[in-house]
Amino acid sequence: MANKYTDEEIQELAASYAMGILGSEDKALFEIILTWDNRASFYLEYFNEIMEELSYDSAPLEEPQGLEERLFKYMQMNK
């Protein structure tokens, strides 16, 4: 099959796929592209590695002090 997608389009799809943010149609499309375009596999592996590194490098976030109380107050005010 001819390369009908630009390198930039393949990279964008691969990055979005690795992040898990593609809609069902785009996800299915990218999975088809993976079967015939070697660039898609290359970029997906690259972005999967980045996502893995990011998950190790990020520290767990702590809840800001008083957040729960502020949220309850906000919810009560907006009933």
User: Residue 21 burial by CB count (10 A; 0-12/13-18/19+): exposed, middle or buried?
Assistant: exposed
- The whole-number pLDDT of residue 76 equals 79
- For residue 27, the tally of other CB atoms under 10 A from its CB is 15
The answer to whether residues 37 and 4 touch, using CB atoms and an 8 Å cutoff, is no
Over residues 11-53, the pLDDT tens digits come to: 999 999 999 999 999 999 999 999 999 999 999 999 999 988 8
- Tell me if the pTM is above 0.75: no
DSSP string of the chain, one letter each residue: ----S-HHHHHHHHHHHHHT---HHHHHHHHHHHHH-HHHHHHHHHHHHHHHHHHHHPPPPPPPTTHHHHHHHHHHHT-
* Per-residue pLDDT at 2: 55
Can you give the pLDDT at residue 79?
65
